[in-house]
Amino acid sequence: MSDYLLLILLAARVTIAVSVASLVFAIVLGFFGALAKLSANPFLKALATVYTTVIRGVPDLILMLLIYYGGTIGLNSLFEYFGSETVVDLDPFTSGVLTLGFIYGAYMTETFRGAILSVPNGQREAGLAFGMSPTRVFIRIIMPQMVRYAIPGFTNNWLVLIKATALVSVIGLQEMTLIAKQATKATREPFMYFLFSGALFLVITFVSLALIKWVGKRYSLGTRRGAL
């Protein structure tokens, strides 16, 4: 039994790697998705709206299977259509990261959009009045404050994303949930291994909350001093 527990513990590294890589991808998609939804360009706004609506409406498991199986077939068919002999074979790790990042990019889009809208418009107007370009106003004034407003929603999305990594077990990635399933089949001791996996998820969650809380305090220093 101790051997299986060690394997689950080692598989935690895969879970963390999938979570972090998916988060980075989701942040990038969410940031540009939020800008698109706030854009004056109707095409970009419509595209971002369709993205967030469809992704949030389709179950994560279905998207996982579609990307893992359908993505490989679709890419290979596309290369074949253009006469290329390139063969694409998406491994479980890449498929998991792309799927989770794509899914939670939609949630991050709404989180960042709401955070940007929460920054008082008068600050943007003040920056423009001082002769700053719109891009500089966004980078120097809007973005730092956006982070503070986005932290609550970001925290929730991150915690849900961590739990969603268990879905990659269905496509064969050797993460904690899959190892726990294999250990259960071999020993017929389901509670021990699933409880151990759940405890590891809790540890990751507690550490994440501590780090995000520290970041939140850093971005709230000026606000708190101003309130005093």
Return the DSSP state at 90.
Answer: -
Residue 71, pLDDT above cutoff 70 = yes
The residue type of 2 is S
Residue 56: name the closest of 30, 88, 21 by CA.
30
How do residues 149-167 score in pLDDT, each as one tens digit? 899 899 999 999 998 888 8
- Does pLDDT of 62 surpass 60? yes
Q: How confident is the model at residue 92 (pLDDT cuts 50, 70, 90)?
A: confident
Indicate the CATH number for domain 2-227.
Answer: 1.10.3720.10
pLDDT at 226: 42
Residues in the chain: 228
Q: What is the pLDDT at residue 1?
A: 59
